[in-house]
């Protein structure tokens, strides 16, 4: 698996912004496929509707990112920061989420289909209508969830 650079991430984010702003006429939808994302940042970026598939994501920062309607499939998250991130209507399909924080995140209508959650912190997060029905939950913190 090839490690993606921060420069490549920034280029994809820029093209995605153009795609969003032009309603699909210009730019390109951000797709992160078959890559390793280690010690990178997506903080404060708008990746509304992006796709992450077959990704290993380690020590990565998504703080305050807009990930509404984002699709995650076969993504392995370890030590990832989703603090204060918007994830409404996103899907986590066959993912593994370990040692990760969603502190103050907005997770309305998020689907965790066949996803394993271990040592995940949802403190102060909006968990309205989150679907954990097929998730494998090892250890999560939900105190004071909204």
Q: At a CB cut-off of 8 Å and minimum separation 6, what does 115 contact? A: 92, 93, 94, 95, 96, 97, 134, 135, 136
Where residue 98 falls among pLDDT bands split at 50, 70, 90?
A: very high
Give the C-alpha separation, 58 to 81, whole Å: 10
Please state, rounded to an integer, the average pLDDT across all residues of the chain: 96
Q: Check pLDDT > 60 for residue 40.
A: yes
The pTM for the full model equals: 0.95
Neighbours of 54 (CB within 10 A): 13
For the chain, the helix, strand and coil percentages under 3-state DSSP, each to the nearest 5: 10, 40, 50
pLDDT in tens, 78-94: 999 999 999 999 999 99
The better pLDDT of the pair 97, 1 is held by 97
Q: Are 68 and 88 in contact (CB under 8 A)?
A: yes
Give the C-alpha separation, 43 to 12, whole Å: 14
């Amino acid at each position: 698996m090839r490690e993606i650079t921060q420069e490549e991430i920034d280029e994809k984010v820029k093209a995605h912004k153009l795609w969003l702003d032009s309603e699909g006429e210009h730019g390109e939808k951000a797709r992160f496929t078959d890559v390793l994302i280690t010690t990178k940042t997506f903080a404060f970026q708008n990746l509304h509707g992006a796709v992450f598939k077959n990704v290993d994501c380690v020590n990565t920062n998504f703080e305050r990112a807009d990930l509404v309607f984002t699709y995650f499939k076969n993504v392995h998250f370890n030590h990832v920061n989703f603090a204060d991130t918007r994830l409404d209507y996103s899907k986590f399909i066959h993912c593994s989420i370990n040692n990760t924080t969603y502190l103050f995140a907005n997770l309305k209508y998020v689907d965790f289909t066949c996803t394993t959650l271990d040592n995940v912190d949802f403190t102060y997060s909006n968990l309205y209508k989150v679907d954990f029905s097929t998730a494998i939950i090892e250890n999560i913190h939900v105190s004071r969830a909204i």
